[in-house]
Structure 1
Amino acid sequence: MPERADQLEFFARCASGFEDQLAAELTQIRCRRVRPLHGGVAFFGAYEDGLRACLHSRVATRVQLVLGRVSARNADALYDGVRALPWETLVAPGATIAMRATGQNSNLRNTQFTALKVKDAVCDRLAAERGARPDVDGSDPDFSVDILLHRDKATISLNLAGPVLHKRGYREPGVQTEAPLKETLAAGMLLAAGWDSMVADGMGFADPMCGSGTLAIEAALIATRAAPGLLRNRWGFTAYMPHDPAAWERLVAEAEAARVPAWESGVRILAGDMNEEAVAVARANAERAGVAELIEFYVDDAANLGTHLKRGRRLSGGLVACNPPYGHRLLSGEDLSQVYAALDSATAKLGGGWQLAIISPDEGVDTGLGRMPERSIACHNGPLDTSLRIYDLGKAAARLSIPSLSGSDSVVPVAEGASEQFAARFRKVAKERAKWARKAGVHSYRVYDADLPEYAFSVDVFRSAEDDGLLVRVEEHRAGSNVDADRANRRVFDGLAIVSAVLDVPRERVFCKRARQEKSRPAAEPVWVDVRESDFVFDMDIASQRECGLPLDMRPVRELLRAHAASKRFACLLAHGGAPSVYAAAGGAVSTVTVDPADPFLEQADHALYVNGFRGREHDLVCDDPLDWARREARAGRTYDLVFCDLSAFPSSRSHDLIADHMSVIQQIVRILSPEGKLVLTCHDRRFNLSDKAFGGHGLTAQDITADTIGHDFTRTPKIHRAFLIGHE
C-alpha cells in the first residue's frame, strides 16, 4: 500500500472491447492516471475514487484496490509475501473471506492451489495477530481477495465491488427472459454508440426486441443520470477496515441529488417485443429500477417500430439498439433472415440522425441488414464470441435484384458494393455449368472456384436423392494475412445470399465450411444427406467443417476405377465415403476390400455399398491402418489387380510425411499388386510429382494421368489434384 492516501492504485475490470468507454467514465469522475489495458482500466486516486467508481461506473464489472505485489516464483515465496502484508489492519474482525486467482506461471499452474496458498497465508497471519482464523465463504464473502499471477509476480487486490457490478439489483432472479444481456455489456453498447451524447440533444432510443428490457433500462438510467450502483445493497468494501461509511453515505447522497426526474430527461425511450410475457418482465424490471415512467413499452412485431414512434413526440434522431435472437440463442439459423427483415422494416424510414447498434455472434449480420458498419467492437456475450456493430441509418441499405436460373427475380441484401460483380459472374458460370451438367448427365458438380480472387470460396452443388432438389456446399478459402478479416467475412455471407438467389435454393439448403472456426462456437451439427452421382447414391455430411466425404474433383478418378475394374480384385486404401469401392463394384470387380482406421468412415462405406446394391460377402470392410494392412497382405501372399490410394486422405498428422516419403509408401503398396495390377495414386498437394527417373531401379512404371482426371467443372483449377497410374514394368 502507498504511503499517501491519494495515491492508491486501482484496477477496474470490464468486458473486453469496452476499455475505452470505461476509461472515459473514470476520467469523468475525476480519477487520475487513467490507463486502458486489456480487459480493464488502471487508475490512481484516493479511496473515495474507488468508491465513486463502484457507484457510478456503468461498464465496470468489478473494481479492485491493489493491496500489494509479492514474489510468486514458487508457492513458498507467494505464501511468505502474502503473509507479510498487514491483514490485521485490512480485514474487519468477524468478516468471512474468499480468494480468487487468475493467471499462472511455470511453478504455479493451478489457480485453485494458488488461491489456497494465499488463503493459508492470510489466515495464518490473522491467527497469529488475533488468535483466531477467519471463516471462508466461497459463495458470498464479506472480504474477497483477487490474485493475479504474471510471470514471477502476484498482484494482491481487494474486490471493492463484491458481487459483480452487472448485478444492479433491478432484476428478479428466475423471472427473466432467456439469455438476457448483462447490464454492464448493455451499458457499454450504449456508450460506444454515443447514447450519452444523444441524451443532451433530446433524441430517442428504441429496442424493438427488448426481451428483459436491459438495453432500454440502461438507456433510461443514463438519460436520468442515475448512478447504476444506487440500487445495490451488497458491497465488497464494508469489511475493509479503513472503509469510511460517512464518505460512502456522502457519495450516495450526491448521486441521489444528481439524478434527473424522468419528465426532465427530454428523451423518448421505447421498448417492444412480440412476446407479451417478455414485455411484462421488462416493465417489472423498469419499475424496480425506477425508470418505468420514462419507457414506452409495447407488444408488437419489431417491424412495426415506426408505427409506435409516430404516436409520440417527433424525434430528429436517436439510437435503435438490440440484442436480436440468433443461432445459439433462441432461434435456429434459418430464422435469422426474418429477424433481419424485421429490423430492416423497423429502421428503413428513420433516416439521417439515427444509428443502429446490434450485438450478435452472427458473422452474417452485415449481409442480413445490407449495411456496412461505421464501427465494430469484438467482444463476448457470455461464452460466445460476438461483436457490437454500429450502423448509420442515414445511409441506404444495399440491395441487389438478382434473376435466378429458373427465371424468378429476388431482392438480396448485401454488405459489399463489389458483390454486384460477383453476382453477375456467378450467374454466368452457374448457367454454363448447369447446361453442361444436364448434357453430360452429371448430378453433382462444382459451379464456382474463386473465379474472382476477392470472393475466395468454392461452390459445389449436389442433387438430393430424396427430393431431387439441389443442396449447396460453399467452402471458404483461407484469406491471406493482408486481407481484412471483416471484409472477407462480409464477402462470404454476401456470396451465400447471392448463391441461394441465383440457384433458387432456400438458404437453409446452403451450407458453408468456414476457413476458421471460432473456439467459443459449437461445432456444426452433422447434416447427413443422400446425394446422387452418376447412377449411384452416397450419403455425406454436407455441413461438415472438414471434408464432406465426396470430393467432386475425384469424380473422373472414380469413373476411371469403374472403367478398369472388370473382373478385378479391388482394394481401396482409405474409404472416401465408399465411393471408390462402389464404382469398382459397378465396373465388374469380382471383389472389393475397403480399408480405413476409422469406424465411422467404414460405416459410411458400408452404407454406400448397401444402398447401391452391393451386399455380398465379396465386399469386405477392414478397420486397420492401410499400410499395416498392405504389409500383412503381402506377407500372406494375397494380391490385388486394382488398388486406389489417395495420399491426402490420410490424417493430416501423417499425410505430410507420407507425401514426402511417397516412394516408400508406393513400394509398400505395390507389393500387393498382381503382376498385371495397377495402383491409382492421387494426391491433393499441388507440389506432388512422380517421374520415371524416380522409379529407376524399382521395377515400376508411372503414368501421369492428371489431365485425364480433371473434369470440365475443374478446368479453372487443373492442379487441384495429381493422379498417377503405377504398375510393374
Structure 2
Amino acid sequence: MSDRHAFFAPCPRGTEGLLADELRRLGLHGVRPQRAGVLFSGEMTHAYRALLWSRLASRILLSLGDVDATSADTLHAGVTAMPWEDHVRPEGTIAIDSTGVNDALRNTQFTTVRVKDALADRFTEKFGQRPSVDTNAPDLRINVVVRGETARISIDLSGEPLHRRGYRTPGVQVAAPMKETLAAAVLDIAGWRETAAGGGAFLDPMCGSGTLAIEAALMAGDVAPGLSRERWGFDRWLGHDADTWNELVRRAGEKRDRGLAKLPPILASDSDSRSVEIAADCVRRAGLEGHVTVVCVPLIDTVRPEGFSAGLVACNPPYGERLSERAELGALYTQMTAHLSSEFEGWKLAVISSDTDLARGLHLRPLLVHELFNGRIPAPVSVFAPDATAIGATTVTRPDTGSDSLELPPPDAAAGAFSNRLRKMAKHVGTWARRSGVGCYRVYDADLPDYNLAVDVYTDESGTRYAHLAEYAPPADIDPGRASRRMEWATLSVASVLDIEPDNVFVKRRERQRGTAQYERMARSGVTITVAENDLRFEVNLSDYLDTGLFLDHRDTRAWLRELASGTRFLNLFAYTGTASVYAAAGGAASTTTVDLSTTYLDWAKRNFALNGGSGLQHRFERSDSFDYLRLARDAGSAYDLIFVDPPTFSNSKRTDSTFDVQRDHVALVIACGKVLAPGGTIVFSCNRRKFAFDAETLAAEGFECSDATARTIPKDFERTPGIHTCWTVRKAG
C-alpha cells in the first residue's frame, strides 16, 4: 500500500470551512472543503493526527478508490478487484455502511449486500474462508458512498463517530443534548481559542450536560479530544502503525498536562439540579475535575469571575424544540440580555437558537451569524458583544411584509439615496438579467460617492440568490465609525431590497494595492456554490477570498473566446480559476493549457473542468509563473493559436522572488507571448487596472498589430463603469 493516501473527513453541515481551517492548523495537506466534509491527503501519521486532534470531524475515512457503479455487477467486480487481504484477515470481521443511490443501486441495503458478497467472493477464492459480519465492533468498517455512476470505497478509521469523546455517562443525558462537534464549532465561531490565549474566562449559564464547558476546557487546555477514547476503527486493521499512533498519543498527553496547568476559569451553571449532576459527572469522566466548575445557579445569579474583564459566555438557551411556553422563553431571552450586558460587559456572547423570533428578543446586534445544525434542527450561532449600551433592535424587514424599511437607523442623509438607487438598479438590471438568462450580475457599482461599494448577485443551481458586497476602502479622512455604520446600513439594505436572506450576504473590503501589498485569502468559511453561465457551470466561493472565482465583467470576454477557440491550441495565462479555459474547451479548442502560480486556483480550475465534463490529456494545467512558462514553451518549440492574458494589477510571488506591475511589464509580457504565437494566431489581452494605458505604439514598433476590443467586451451590467477593464487583440504584423 502506498505511503500517501487520500482521506475524507465528514462533518456536520455548516462546519466545512471550520474543519478545513482546523486540519490546516494540524499541518495536513491538500485540504479542500466539500459539502458535508473535507478532503485531505498525506501519510497515515496525518490521518492519526486528525483522528486524535479534530474537534469538528465526524469520522476520518481512508479512500481506497472509486469503482464503476453503473450496475450491481460492475460494483461487485470493482470491489472484488480490491486487495482486501491487505486490510483484514480471512477469519476477521467486517461491517459495511452504505449511503447514496443511483438508477442501478436504489437501495443502500442492497448496495451493502453486494459489497459484502464481493469481499466474500475474493476471500473464498483466495483463502477458502471469508470474514464474518459484526456490526458492533468489526475488525474493519467499510464505507461506501454511491454518487452518480461511481461508488467511493473507504475504510472508516474512526470506528464510533468522533463526537463520542468518551466522557458522557452511558444511557444518561439531558433533554436536547448538544453534540460535542457542534459545541466545538460554536466555540470556534466565537473565537474562544483566541480569547483563552489572551487569558479570558468562560461561562455557560445554561449548561445542560456541560458539553460547551467541557469542550471549552479541552480547547483552551490543548487537550486532544481523542485522548479519552478507548476504541478506534483502526485497532485491528492490518495497515495500523501502532508505534506511530502510540507516539502521537504520548505527545498529546504531554501537551494536555502542560495545557491544563494554565487553564483559565471554566464555569458551567444551570438552574436544574439534575442537569448539574449530569454535567459534573461528565466533567469527571473527561478528566477535568478541578478544572471546570459546575454549580446550580439561576441565570440572573451568575457573576463574572473576579479579575477577568474579558471572556466568552456561550449557551444553548431553551427554544421551541425543548420548551413550549413561548411567553416564558421570551422573558428568559430578554432577562439574559439585561443581565449579561451589565454583569459581563467586555465579554463576548455566543448564542445558539433555531427560533429566530426568540433570538430577536435578545435585542442585540450580532457581530456575525453562522448557520449550523444540531442534528436536523437548524441551529444558527450568533455572536454578540453585549454591554450596557448595546441593547437595541437591528433587524431586516423582508419586502414581502409590505415594508422595506430597516429598524437600524440611517447613518446619514445619503442612506436613503443608496436604498433608492439600489432599488432602481435592481429593477433595471434584474429585468435584463432575467430576459438574458444571466444569473450572476452586478447590480450596483459605486454609483453614489458616499456608498463606494460594488454589489453582485449570484444565483446557484437551486435558484437560491446570494449577494457579494465589495467595499472600496474609504479615504483616510473619513471617520471609521461613520464608514462602518454606512456599511452596516448597506448590508441590511441589500438583504431587504434584493429579497436575499441576510445570511446569504457576504461583505469584503478592497484596499488599494501598494508596494508589495497583494490580495490575500480572507477569513475561511468554505461557502461554495455552483452557478451557471452561458450553459456552463462554475464553482463560486463567496466567503474565503476577496474575489469569488468568477469575474463577472469578463462574461462577454469569455463568450468571445469561445467563438474564437474552435480548433485552436489555447493558452490561458494568469488563469485564476480557469473559467476562460472551460469556455475555450466548450468552443471546440483542440487543446487547452491553463497556467497559474497558485495550486489552490489550479485545483479550482480542474474542478470547473470536471463540472463541465472536461477531461483528457488535451487539457493541461501548469503551476508556473507566466513569464517562466513562456520561456519554457518557447525553448520547447510550442506554439499556440489563441492566447488569453488577464494579468493582475500587481503580483508579489514568494516562489519567484519577483514582482509584476501590469503597467510597467505588459509590453514585455505581450512580446513574450508573441514568441509562442502561431502564425495567424491571436492574443487577447485584458487588464482591470483603472487608468491602464496599453502601449500599442511600442508594440507596433515590435511588429504587432493591436486593436482595442474593450467596447465589445463590456457586459450590459457594467455599462455604467466602462473602465472596469481594458481589452486588446494583438496579432503579428504581416
Structure 1-normalised TM-score? 0.54
Corresponding position of 2:280: 283
Q: How many residues align?
A: 411
Structure 1 residues 591-646: Cα deviation after superposition (integer angstroms, max 9, x where no partner):
xxxxxxxxxxxxxxxxxxxxxxxxxxxxxxxxxxxxxxxxxxxxxxxxxxxxxxxx
Corresponding position of 1:184: 181
Q: Hey, what's the Cα distance between the residues in 2 that align with 1:84 and 1:299?
A: 59
The reply on whether 1:100 has 2:93 as its aligned counterpart is no
- Contact 1:351/1:395 (8 A) holds in 2: no
Corresponding position of 2:237: 240
Displacement, 1:365? 3.7
Please point out which of 386, 390, 398 is paired with 2:383: 390
Corresponding position of 2:271: 274
Displacement, 1:141? 2.5
Aligned amino acid, residue 322 of structure 2 = R
User: Per the alignment, in what secondary structure is the counterpart of residue 181 of structure 2?
Assistant: helix
Corresponding position of 2:122: 125
The reply on whether 1:292 has 2:289 as its aligned counterpart is yes
Aligned amino acid, residue 417 of structure 1 = L
The reply on whether 1:417 has 2:408 as its aligned counterpart is yes
> What aligned pairs does 1:328-727 form with structure 2 within 5 A after superposition?
328-350=321-343, 353-394=346-387, 396-399=389-392, 416-417=407-408, 482-486=498-502
User: Per the alignment, in what secondary structure is the counterpart of residue 321 of structure 1?
Assistant: strand
User: Per the alignment, in what secondary structure is the counterpart of residue 59 of structure 2?
Assistant: strand
- Contact 2:333/2:362 (8 A) holds in 1: yes
The reply on whether 1:72 has 2:75 as its aligned counterpart is no
Q: Hey, what's the Cα distance between the residues in 1 that align with 2:237 and 2:378?
A: 36
Q: Hey, what's the Cα distance between the residues in 1 that align with 2:257 and 2:308?
A: 21
CA 1:20–1:350: 2 relative to 1, 3 Å: farther
Corresponding position of 2:694: none
Aligned amino acid, residue 483 of structure 1 = D
The reply on whether 1:136 has 2:133 as its aligned counterpart is yes
- Contact 2:217/2:263 (8 A) holds in 1: no
Displacement, 1:418? 5.7
Displacement, 1:350? 4.8
Aligned amino acid, residue 501 of structure 2 = A
User: Per the alignment, in what secondary structure is the counterpart of residue 60 of structure 1?
Assistant: coil
The reply on whether 1:322 has 2:319 as its aligned counterpart is no
- Contact 2:98/2:144 (8 A) holds in 1: yes
Displacement, 1:209? 0.1
Corresponding position of 2:226: 229
CA 1:92–1:397: 2 relative to 1, 3 Å: farther
CA 1:484–1:392: 2 relative to 1, 3 Å: farther
Aligned amino acid, residue 84 of structure 1 = A
Please point out which of 86, 89, 102 is paired with 2:86: 89
Structure 1 residues 333-381: Cα deviation after superposition (integer angstroms, max 9, x where no partner):
3322122023213311256642111122112244110122222222211
Displacement, 1:391? 1.5
The reply on whether 1:215 has 2:208 as its aligned counterpart is no
- Contact 1:372/1:415 (8 A) holds in 2: no
Displacement, 1:262? 6.6
- Contact 1:176/1:281 (8 A) holds in 2: yes
Displacement, 1:169? 0.4
CA 1:75–1:355: 2 relative to 1, 3 Å: same
CA 1:129–1:286: 2 relative to 1, 3 Å: same
Corresponding position of 1:62: 59
CA 1:260–1:128: 2 relative to 1, 3 Å: same
- Contact 2:267/2:294 (8 A) holds in 1: yes
- Contact 2:221/2:260 (8 A) holds in 1: no
- Contact 1:62/1:164 (8 A) holds in 2: yes
User: Per the alignment, in what secondary structure is the counterpart of residue 53 of structure 1?
Assistant: helix
Displacement, 1:397? 3.8
Aligned amino acid, residue 123 of structure 1 = A
Deviates further, 480-489 or 86-95: 480-489
Displacement, 1:121? 0.7
CA 1:330–1:97: 2 relative to 1, 3 Å: farther
Corresponding position of 1:153: 150
Displacement, 1:8? 0.6
Aligned amino acid, residue 379 of structure 1 = L
Displacement, 1:105? 1.6
The reply on whether 1:167 has 2:167 as its aligned counterpart is no
Corresponding position of 1:521: none
- Contact 1:79/1:117 (8 A) holds in 2: yes
Q: Hey, what's the Cα distance between the residues in 2 that align with 1:93 and 1:167?
A: 30
Aligned amino acid, residue 482 of structure 1 = L
CA 1:330–1:258: 2 relative to 1, 3 Å: same
- Contact 1:262/1:293 (8 A) holds in 2: no
Q: Hey, what's the Cα distance between the residues in 1 that align with 2:47 and 2:134?
A: 24
Structure 2, unpaired ranges of 5+: 394-404, 411-494, 506-734
Displacement, 1:256? 0.3
Please, what is the CA RMSD of the aligned residues? 2.5
User: Per the alignment, in what secondary structure is the counterpart of residue 190 of structure 1?
Assistant: helix
Displacement, 1:228? 0.4
Q: Hey, what's the Cα distance between the residues in 1 that align with 2:99 and 2:328?
A: 39
User: Per the alignment, in what secondary structure is the counterpart of residue 75 of structure 2?
Assistant: helix
Structure 1 residues 82-141: Cα deviation after superposition (integer angstroms, max 9, x where no partner):
110000111134332111111122221211111111111112212222221211122332
User: Per the alignment, in what secondary structure is the counterpart of residue 254 of structure 2?
Assistant: helix
Q: Hey, what's the Cα distance between the residues in 2 that align with 1:85 and 1:39?
A: 27
Displacement, 1:417? 2.3
Displacement, 1:258? 1.1
User: Per the alignment, in what secondary structure is the counterpart of residue 279 of structure 2?
Assistant: helix
Aligned amino acid, residue 50 of structure 2 = A
Aligned amino acid, residue 373 of structure 2 = H
Displacement, 1:482? 2.4
Displacement, 1:480? 8.7
Q: Hey, what's the Cα distance between the residues in 2 that align with 1:66 and 1:123?
A: 20
The reply on whether 1:195 has 2:192 as its aligned counterpart is yes
Aligned amino acid, residue 356 of structure 1 = L
Q: Hey, what's the Cα distance between the residues in 2 that align with 1:334 and 1:239?
A: 54
- Contact 2:90/2:130 (8 A) holds in 1: no
Q: Hey, what's the Cα distance between the residues in 2 that align with 1:209 and 1:164?
A: 26
Q: Hey, what's the Cα distance between the residues in 2 that align with 1:138 and 1:295?
A: 36
Corresponding position of 2:722: none
Displacement, 1:178? 1.4
User: Per the alignment, in what secondary structure is the counterpart of residue 228 of structure 1?
Assistant: coil
- Contact 1:370/1:415 (8 A) holds in 2: no
Overall identity of the aligned pairs, in %: 41
The reply on whether 1:44 has 2:37 as its aligned counterpart is no
Displacement, 1:161? 0.4
Displacement, 1:389? 1.5
- Contact 1:325/1:331 (8 A) holds in 2: no
Q: Hey, what's the Cα distance between the residues in 2 that align with 1:235 and 1:360?
A: 33
Displacement, 1:396? 3.8
Q: Hey, what's the Cα distance between the residues in 1 that align with 2:133 and 2:346?
A: 54
Structure 2-normalised TM-score? 0.53
